[in-house]
Amino acid sequence: MNFKTIAPIGFLVLAIAAIILPKDIFTAILVFLMILSGVVTIFSNIDIFGDDERDK
């Protein structure tokens, strides 16, 4: 299981943790990781650069 596979689950878990846990600097890290998981989830599925390379 690689990072791409677990990114959507990570997105959810990090979001829940950020809401539940006490709000401090650790929450900012959780939100940052959540955004990262969201970006990985989308970009691992749209193949935005690979497609253009194949066309060339």
Partner 1 sequence: MNILAVTTSYSFELTLICMIAASLYFLLERYRLSGKYKKVSTLAFLTVALAIVEYLGMRDYFGIENLSSNNVNFPTEFRYLTWAVSTPLMLYTFFVLSGFNVIYKKTAIATLLLNFTMITSGFFSEMSFSRNLASLDFAIIMFAIGFSAWLGIVYIYNYLLPSYLTSIKSAEQKYLQHCLSSLAKIVTFGWLIYPVGLVISFYDPSLETALMRELIYNLGDLFNKIGFVIICYFCAIKLSKLRN
The DSSP symbol for 30 reads H
Q: Which of 1, 2, 46, 53 binds partner 1 (CB under 8 A)?
A: 46
Over its C-alpha atoms, the chain yields an Rg (Å, rounded) of 15
Under rule CB under 8 A, residue 1 binds partner 1: no
Smallest distance, partner 1 to C-beta of residue 48, A? 7
Render the burial of 1-32: b for 16+ CB within 10 Å, e for the rest.
eeeeeebbebbeebeeebeeeeeeeeeeebee
Under rule CB under 8 A, residue 29 binds partner 1: no
Under rule CB under 8 A, residue 9 binds partner 1: yes
Q: Which of 3, 16, 26, 29 binds partner 1 (CB under 8 A)?
A: 16
